[in-house]
């Protein structure tokens, strides 16, 4: 009758968290090695290539950082909503909305100098992301319509709008018949830092810092944390839940929109339907792995970026893209399982005694696993 149950940890020790994270990834790498071995590749060689391509030398590192930048922004976007117990599944669409508005502004104001134009495009990105979020946010705060559904649906709307702009009103007349939008003005390209990294990375880092401060050190952040962790207590303390839901969702949309503008001016040449490239959806994983904390988002986005760069590079060794994708997924999955053990431990339970996950009554990550 003895069997394992997940028991909630009384205290969460940061050192255990880090160890759990590493262990989860290591287990995934071992399983991945078996997969590679079975499919006739040398695990050592593949892992070495993965590591080198993501970290070795400034060029490799810059590729990782280039990937990590939009991931950090969309991760933060999802985390801001997540700290209120809300799920913004549509960062992908808000990225697009941000990029659309930023492109529109660039078309109208292409005579401006670089810094001014870039600043204007960043603000437009935020506005675009927020605009796409207004509907879901109001529906959620006033009518309790699930934001999960509405934000997700609008992703496809945003992408279709880009496709329409590509083939219709914004089609580049000098594109020799290709359905593309004209590139953003040259002076709007984000200044590079080193290799492929650009100042978009600093924007993301700065924003993470601002949010970390705002959440942990301001009265506004206190109210947000209170409303997110115990809504009835917040009501009792006189915090308007409605307003908090609205601001958290709008900010979330705005940050994702900013990610779109950063991507547009940083790595992409022009607005196109593939601009968001899955970063918005990946942001959900980043935020979940980061336990919705801004500090965690930075670390996870970096690791996630490295895994993506590494996963791409090993295809040059003849590893098929399917195997590369499985490998990436396994590493993330290993980390995700590790997150469960941050908050829960296995308890071998015999007759009587012990409290199980079912009793904690908290809709946690682990709740779905159990």
Q: Smallest distance, Å, CB 9 to other proteins?
A: 11
Cβ-based burial of 311 (10 A; exposed 0-12, middle 13-18, buried ≥19): buried
Q: Smallest distance, Å, CB 327 to other proteins?
A: 35
Q: Smallest distance, Å, CB 123 to other proteins?
A: 21
- What Rg value do the Cα atoms of the chain yield, rounded? 22
Q: Which of 45, 108, 359, 369 binds other proteins (CB under 8 A)?
A: 359
Which of 9/142 has CB closer to other proteins?
A: 9
Does 15 bind other proteins (CB under 8 A)? Our answer is: no
Does 144 bind other proteins (CB under 8 A)? Our answer is: no
Stretch that binds other proteins, among 74-82, 88-96, 100-108, 234-242 (CB under 8 A): 234-242
Q: How far apart are CA 289 and CA 307, in angstroms?
A: 14
Which of 34/369 has CB closer to other proteins?
A: 369
Does 143 bind other proteins (CB under 8 A)? Our answer is: no
Q: How far apart are CA 50 and CA 38, in angstroms?
A: 18
Does 4 bind other proteins (CB under 8 A)? Our answer is: no
Q: Smallest distance, Å, CB 43 to other proteins?
A: 40
Q: Smallest distance, Å, CB 218 to other proteins?
A: 5
Q: Which of 230, 315, 320, 321 binds other proteins (CB under 8 A)?
A: 230
Question: ∠ at Cα 161 (160, 165), nearest 5°?
Answer: 115
Stretch that binds other proteins, among 5-13, 33-41, 106-114, 158-166 (CB under 8 A): 5-13
Three-state DSSP class for residue 111: coil
Cβ-based burial of 53 (10 A; exposed 0-12, middle 13-18, buried ≥19): buried
Which of 1/143 has CB closer to other proteins?
A: 1
Q: Smallest distance, Å, CB 201 to other proteins?
A: 27
Footprint of other proteins on 281-300 (CB under 8 A): none
- Check if the beta carbon of residue 325 is closer than 8 Å to that of residue 10: no
Per-residue interface string for the shown chain with other proteins, residues 339-358, x marking contact by CB under 8 A? ----------x-xxxxxx-x
Beta carbons within 8 Å of 203's beta carbon, 6+ residues apart: 69, 73, 122, 258, 262
CA-closest candidate to residue 90, choices 350, 335, 280, 340: 280
Phi-psi domain of 240 (left: phi exceeds 0; alpha: psi -120 through 50; beta: other): beta
Q: Which of 229, 315, 320, 321 binds other proteins (CB under 8 A)?
A: 229
Instruction: Give the pair of three-digit tokens for residue 15.
Output: 């050192």
Which of 325/362 has CB closer to other proteins?
A: 362
Q: How many CB atoms lie within 10 A of CB 187?
A: 15
Footprint of other proteins on 194-223 (CB under 8 A): 217-222
Question: Concatenated DSSP letters for 165-184?
Answer: HHHTTTB-TTSTT---BPPP
Question: Which positions touch other proteins (CB under 8 A)?
Answer: 1, 3, 5, 10-11, 217-222, 225-226, 229-230, 232-238, 349, 351-356, 358-359
């Amino acid at each position: 009758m003895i069997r394992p149950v997940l028991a909630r940890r009384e205290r969460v020790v940061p050192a255990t968290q880090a160890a759990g994270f590493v262990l989860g990834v290591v287990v995934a790498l071992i399983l991945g090695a078996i997969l590679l071995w079975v499919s006739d590749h040398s695990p050592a060689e593949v892992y070495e290539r993965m590591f080198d391509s993501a970290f070795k030398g400034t060029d490799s590192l810059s590729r990782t950082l280039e990937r990590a930048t939009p991931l950090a922004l969309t991760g933060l976007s999802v985390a801001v909503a997540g700290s209120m117990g809300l799920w913004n599944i549509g960062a992908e669409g808000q990225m697009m909305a941000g990029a659309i508005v930023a492109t529109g502004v660039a078309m109208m104001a292409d005579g401006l100098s670089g810094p001014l134009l870039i600043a204007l495009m960043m603000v437009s990105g935020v506005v675009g992301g927020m605009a796409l979020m207004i509907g879901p946010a109001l529906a959620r705060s006033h009518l309790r319509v699930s934001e999960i559904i509405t934000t997700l649906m609008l992703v496809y709307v945003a992408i279709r709008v880009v496709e329409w702009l590509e083939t219709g009103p914004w089609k580049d007349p000098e594109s020799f018949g290709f359905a593309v939008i004209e590139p953003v003005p040259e002076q709007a390209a984000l200044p590079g830092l080193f290799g492929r990294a650009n100042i978009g990375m600093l924007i993301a880092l700065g924003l993470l810092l601002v949010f970390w401060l705002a959440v942990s050190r301001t009265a506004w952040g206190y109210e947000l944390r209170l409303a997110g962790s115990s809504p009835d207590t917040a009501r009792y303390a006189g915090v308007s839940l409605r307003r908090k839901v609205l601001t958290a969702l709008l900010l979330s949309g705005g940050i994702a929109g900013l990610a779109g503008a950063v991507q547009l001016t940083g790595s992409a040449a022009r607005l196109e339907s593939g601009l968001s490239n899955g970063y918005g959806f990946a942001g959900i994983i980043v935020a979940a792995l980061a336990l919705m904390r801004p500090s965690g988002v930075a670390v996870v986005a970096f690791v996630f970026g490295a895994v993506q760069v590494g996963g791409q590079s090993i295809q040059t060794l003849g590893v098929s893209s399917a195997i590369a994708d499985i490998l990436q997924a396994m590493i993330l999955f290993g980390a995700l399982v590790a997150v469960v053990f941050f908050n829960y431990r296995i308890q071998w339970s015999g007759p009587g005694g012990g409290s199980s996950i079912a009793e904690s009554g908290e809709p946690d990550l682990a709740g779905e696993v159990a």
